[in-house]
Structure 1
Amino acid sequence: MGRWGIVALAALAVMGTACSPGSAEPATSDEASTSATRTPRITDDSGRPPVTFDPCYDIPDDVMNAAGYDAAKKEVADMPMGTYTFLGCAYDKRDHIPGVRRGYGLNILSGNVTLEEEHSKNAHVASPITINGRAGLREVGPSGNNECTYALQTEFGVVLFNRLYYTDTVEPAPESEWCSGMDQFVTSLEPYIPE
């Protein structure tokens, strides 16, 4: 995920309550299709493009609920970093399978770093992918065990889907499980992301 991803995830954990989930109006399909015209909630002083896709507002709650993530408990965070910006949204999926997993944690981060920058930070774990015709990367274990990140290219930068597999044992899950189901999940969300 690279240094900005780690910084953004840390900021998301600290600032996750900056906007309460109850204050976030659920996005409708109409709102999602017009997200490219949204005025960014925050900007930075980097000269990079403004982040025009906000995962907490532009992905419909009913879509996330259907995927098993409780949108009523999502956490919104603004992360202006000076030289780049990330808008983040955190979700939990508690589909406990005793002895296997306790569920997943998901962070969706929309930022104005390029796909090339993301690749240069994580080339050792990244492989190129295409989702619905959009260029991207699959990063297996960018920050450690049980983690999978999909990065999709946008006009303003990237959208990162970072999922952590919560094991129900002290051992890590088999690496083959870290990204299990992510292709289908990210494919279902990609249409909500502007070009």
Structure 2
Amino acid sequence: MGRWGIVALAALAVMGTACSPGSAEPATSDEASTSATRTPRITDDSGRPPVTFDPCYDIPDDVMNAAGYDAAQKEIADMPMGTYTFLGCTYDNRDHIPGVRRGYGLNILAGNVTLDEEFQKNAHVASQTSINGRPALLEVDPDARNGCKYALQTDFGVVLVTRVLYADHSGPAPQIDWCAGMENLVASVEPFIAN
């Protein structure tokens, strides 16, 4: 698993201690599509472009709720790194019922690394694709059990959408299930991503 994959998984691991989005009002679909670009909460000293998309604030809660993710429980999970920056938002649902319902950990990171850098780092598990016409990668690493990641190209870098599936039984879920429903989720989020 590459460096940014570890970043994504680390965000999932620490999401229980992340800060809540606080008093910010969630954007509706119309507000998010017409809002002005805000000043990024975090910048770095790398000379890379600032991250102008904030997953916790720029993806409308109703979009995430419609996709089956509880936006009321989202958590900010930013990762300032000095040489690059990731603004993150996590969604977590561990109240699965064995044999009935699965849980998930979802992490959406907007970072100022390029899609080419992401591909070079994870070419062994990545395949090129597109989401709504936007260049993207699908990454399924057999060593990252129950994990699925999409990387979408942006003007500032990439948006990484990573989900870890909490199986409804002991042991790993079948690999065919790791990315089930992910393409639809990513396609529903993509229109809100700053170019």
Normalised to the residue count of structure 2, the TM-score between the two structures is 0.90
| Aligned-pair Cα RMSD in Å | 2.2
Task: Write the letter of the residue equivalent to 1:121.
Answer: K
1:135 CA drift (Å): 0.2
1:24 CA drift (Å): 3.5
The residue aligned with 2:50 is: 50
1:113-166 Cα offsets, whole Å, 9 max, x none, are: 000111111111100011111000000127611000000000000000100010
1:148-194 Cα offsets, whole Å, 9 max, x none, are: 00000000000001000101222211111111111111111110111
1:80-112 Cα offsets, whole Å, 9 max, x none, are: 100000000000245746326531110000000
1:25 CA drift (Å): 2.2
The residue aligned with 2:172 is: 172
Report the more deviating stretch, 8-17 or 118-127.
Answer: 8-17
Between the aligned residues of both structures, percent identity stands at: 79
* Secondary structure in structure 1 of the residue aligned to 2:78: strand
Unaligned runs of 5+ in 1: none
- Going from structure 1 to structure 2, the CA distance change for 1:120 and 1:69 (only over 3 Å counts) comes to same
* Secondary structure in structure 2 of the residue aligned to 1:135: strand
Distance in 2 separating the partners of 1:11 and 1:160: 12
- Going from structure 1 to structure 2, the CA distance change for 1:100 and 1:177 (only over 3 Å counts) comes to farther
Task: Write the letter of the residue equivalent to 1:151.
Answer: A
The residue aligned with 1:69 is: 69
Distance in 2 separating the partners of 1:82 and 1:95: 36
Are 1:5 and 2:5 matched, yes or no? yes
Distance in 1 separating the partners of 2:11 and 2:105: 15
Distance in 1 separating the partners of 2:176 and 2:12: 27
Task: Write the letter of the residue equivalent to 2:84.
Answer: Y
1:23-74 Cα offsets, whole Å, 9 max, x none, are: 3420223442246621111100000000000000000111111111111111
Distance in 2 separating the partners of 1:144 and 1:8: 12
The residue aligned with 1:189 is: 189
1:10 CA drift (Å): 1.8
Distance in 2 separating the partners of 1:100 and 1:119: 36
The residue aligned with 1:25 is: 25
Q: Is the CA contact 1:100–1:169 (under 8 Å) kept in the aligned structure 2? A: no
Q: Is the CA contact 1:122–1:142 (under 8 Å) kept in the aligned structure 2? A: no
Distance in 2 separating the partners of 1:98 and 1:15: 23
Q: Is the CA contact 2:15–2:90 (under 8 Å) kept in the aligned structure 1? A: no
- Going from structure 1 to structure 2, the CA distance change for 1:35 and 1:129 (only over 3 Å counts) comes to farther
Task: Write the letter of the residue equivalent to 1:2.
Answer: G
1:9 CA drift (Å): 3.7
Q: Is the CA contact 1:35–1:53 (under 8 Å) kept in the aligned structure 2? A: no
Distance in 2 separating the partners of 1:64 and 1:133: 21
* Secondary structure in structure 1 of the residue aligned to 2:7: helix
